[in-house]
Amino acid sequence: MRKSLFLALFLFAVASVLFSGCGSSGKKPSNEESKKTGFELLDGKGTEMGKVFDKLGLEYGLVDGMLKPDKITELFLEEIEKGKLEGYTPVIVAPGSLGGSLLETMLEEYDPAELLKAELPDGKEWIDSRLNEYQNTSDPSLERFDFDKMRDDSAEGEELTHFTSLDIISEGGDSDVFLVKVPTDKPWEAVLYIPFGGWNACPEPLEMAAVCKYWYEKYGAQPAVIMGDQMEFCLPPPVPENEVREAALEHFAFCEDRVFQCTWTGTFSELEDSIGKSAIWYFWWD
């Protein structure tokens, strides 16, 4: 089973959205240029998700449904710069295939205020513990992995240049897309304000926030898209070549499906190559 991640190779082969990283949007467009690209957020009041954001006290806008994922990516880059000046962290949110369960979780089971008061675990320690469990588990119900055998040095990874989780929407998927302005200057806290995680192998919210904090401090990566069972990060430059192997292992600890479901070869080599040339990280928990 392959996600829309791979469709980017064909749908955007001629796209001109080539940016050096997501921490900076480069030249800020003029008002006239902004009008041409359609970067005006629409009023999402009254929508199902809008009611959720209202209940959580979050400022948000509905993204124009005519915008393609590459343009939404550009919008996000602009919002990062605005957020730094105005004290908020932007996140793109779409219900996706888990719309119903996401809404139920947001409305009935989630208390951001309590999570924000809790102490985060150490993100690096959590990753190391998860990797150790994968390699050395004695639990017969769990598979033990030999990471050295999960390699194919001829495998090539794709360069991610836009938020590919949104491809399915641009191809006719029925889901609104929102840009939420999370009231924090700590990007890792966004996953505590916006409910996500805690199913299957997906980290619990506090664990996820801990990993996000670790990655933000180490790589400059910040949560960018939350869509159903998918998540994407954006970072300034791609990870340096001498750090891609470690980063790939960390991605596997965070989301094993990033290797098993979201590469053609099911290898770390392919993931490493993608990480080394991409300023966007993609994750999907099947």
| Cα Rg, the chain, nearest whole Å | 18
pLDDT, tens only, 86-129: 999 999 998 765 555 556 666 677 788 899 999 999 999 999 99
Q: Is residue 3 part of a domain?
A: no
Q: Is residue 126 part of a domain?
A: yes
Q: Is residue 61 part of a domain?
A: yes
Is the pTM for the entire model greater than 0.95? no
Domain around 101: 39-137+145-284
**What is residue 28's predicted lDDT score, i.e. its pLDDT?**
45
**Is residue 23 a part of any domain in this protein?**
no
Residue 1 forms part of a structural domain = no
- Residues 6 or more apart whose CB falls under 8 angstroms from that of 217 comprise none
Structural domain total, the chain: 1
- The pLDDT score that the predictor gives to residue 232 is 96
Please check whether residue 34 lies inside any domain of the structure: no
Average pLDDT (206-229) is 95
- Angle 10-73-244 (CA atoms, 0-180°, nearest 5)? 75
φ, ψ of residue 226 in degrees (nearest 5): -125, 115
- Mean pLDDT, range 126-147, rounded to an integer: 72
Report if residue 16 sits inside a domain.
Answer: no
In a domain, 272, yes or no: yes
